[in-house]
Amino acid sequence: MSITHATIVGAGVAGLTTALSLAAKGISSDVIEQAPQLGEVGAGLQLSPNATRVLRTLGVLPDIERQWLEPRSIRLASGIDLRSLADLPAGSFARQRWGAPYGVLHRSTLQQALLHATLNEPLCTLHLAQRIETVDPDALARLTGRRPDLVVGADGAWSVARDAVAESPTVSFSGNIAWRFTISTAQAPAFLSRGGVTAHLGPRAHLVSYPLNEIDGFNLVAIAAGAKSAESWALQADAARRAMLLDQFSGWHRDIRTVLAGADNPTFWPLYQATDGRWQNGRDTVLIGDAAHAMMPFSAQGAAMAIEDGFSLAHHVARTALPSALARFETERKVRVARVKARGEFNRFAYHARGPFRVGRDLVLSLRSPESLAADLDWLYGHKIGD
């Protein structure tokens, strides 16, 4: 084993998964979080088999499965006339084909399951309400009482830890905006699938919806390209932003526009993405999750990549001397993340296609069998770390 103790900056999905993954290898950690408590954050989340496989190995999945929903299918549909374009089976099909389940859940369900497991792991110590300005190991030791062999920057898109890594990534506004909101099952119109995930596609925009057991309702995310924003974080959508939302979805089916117009307290999220750059300093500091590779949600893999990162990092540092372990982790994960980002960019083009491209997309999708759609995702959902 190359290290015995780590300090992890950030107690989100990436940070807590890393702490549990290190503990599984016998490595202790301090987890530092600026928030005074870890409560409900965000809204809905999709967890694909590549992520749930890791959570199962860490013993976290059973807690999540008691609350989530396994969608029967993942469907693409037209936002203009609501007709179905393609349908990928999930549910038992996902478990059989990729060896792990596909689920939809409230983000807080995942966060609380990870938190509960971390608090019950003797090798993990959580430090809340601790805002830091530097990840220098000596400064961290003064806070936690123990100098780390490894510092893990899991502190999100606006990472402080990046300052410790020369030529690290930078983040910039992607030109895409997400409006997130929920509606109750009682209020949900018939076009929202009660048992699956649906992405309605339209010119320069798309709408993702799926049920959430935890709230007896639906999570909806409307994403539009070509928007501008001076904000860098989520805000409640005021009248001007609501008008922007309806303008971005002009020409869509009236039932969808009715849902968007009646959204209760939607949040307005400018979407940021990270450039390429170094993820580790060659000695003792590494970036993971959004700190390393903040990405667009067009392949629904942001949380999954953070989960994979934490598990992969522990796999490498438990086997190899630290500088080599960090280099191998960075090389391996960059290849994987680049492929996921490329898939997301392909999805963005396909989902937001206009004119003749949209007509061609619809024709191609109508000809694809469920088996061929699934085969297209084997590299993503069937991925096993350490193989």
Position 41 pLDDT exceeds 90: no
Question: Do 206 and 341 lie in a common domain?
Answer: no
Would you state the pLDDT for residue 232? 65
Question: Do 267 and 319 lie in a common domain?
Answer: no
Instruction: Say how far apart CA 150 and CA 323 lie, in whole Å.
Output: 10
Show the tokens assigned to 365. 């999708």
Question: Do 291 and 157 lie in a common domain?
Answer: yes
Position 353 pLDDT exceeds 90: no
Confirm whether 78 is domain-assigned. Answer: no
Q: Which of 272, 291, 323 is the last residue of a domain?
A: 272
Would you state the pLDDT for residue 365? 85
Would you state the pLDDT for residue 43? 81
Closest CA to 83 of 377, 376, 365, 369: 365
Question: Do 117 and 42 lie in a common domain?
Answer: yes
Instruction: Say how far apart CA 312 and CA 107 lie, in whole Å.
Output: 22
Question: Do 37 and 144 lie in a common domain?
Answer: yes
Position 233 pLDDT exceeds 70: no
Would you state the pLDDT for residue 330? 98
DSSP tag of 69:
B
Instruction: Say how far apart CA 289 and CA 116 lie, in whole Å.
Output: 21
Instruction: Say how far apart CA 16 and CA 378 lie, in whole Å.
Output: 27
Total number of domains constituting the chain: 2
Least confident interval from 35-44, 141-150, 280-289, 311-320: 35-44
Burial, 138: exposed, middle or buried (Cβ in 10 Å; 0-12, 13-18, 19+)?
A: exposed
| CA–CA distances in Å: residue 111 to residues 75, 83, 352 | 27, 35, 31
Q: 181 and 264 in contact (C-beta within 8 Å)?
A: yes
Confirm whether 92 is domain-assigned. Answer: no
Q: 131 and 11 in contact (C-beta within 8 Å)?
A: no
Q: Which residue has the higher pLDDT, 291 or 361?
A: 291
Burial, 99: exposed, middle or buried (Cβ in 10 Å; 0-12, 13-18, 19+)?
A: middle
Would you state the pLDDT for residue 254? 96
CATH of the domain at 253: 3.30.9.30
Would you state the pLDDT for residue 230? 65
Q: Which residue type does 122 have? A: P
Q: Which residue has the higher pLDDT, 1 or 353?
A: 353
pTM: 0.95
Question: Do 182 and 165 lie in a common domain?
Answer: no
Position 93 pLDDT exceeds 80: yes
Strand-by-strand arrangement of the 197-202 sheet: 84-89, 73-78, 197-202, 205-212, 217-225, 171-184, 267-274, 235-236
Task: Provide the domain limits for residue 158.
Answer: 5-72+103-170+274-380
Residue with tokens 């920057």: 153
Question: Do 114 and 10 lie in a common domain?
Answer: yes
The count of other CB atoms within 10 Å of the CB of residue 365 is 18
Question: Do 285 and 315 lie in a common domain?
Answer: yes
Burial, 258: exposed, middle or buried (Cβ in 10 Å; 0-12, 13-18, 19+)?
A: exposed
Closest CA to 381 of 274, 296, 288, 299: 299
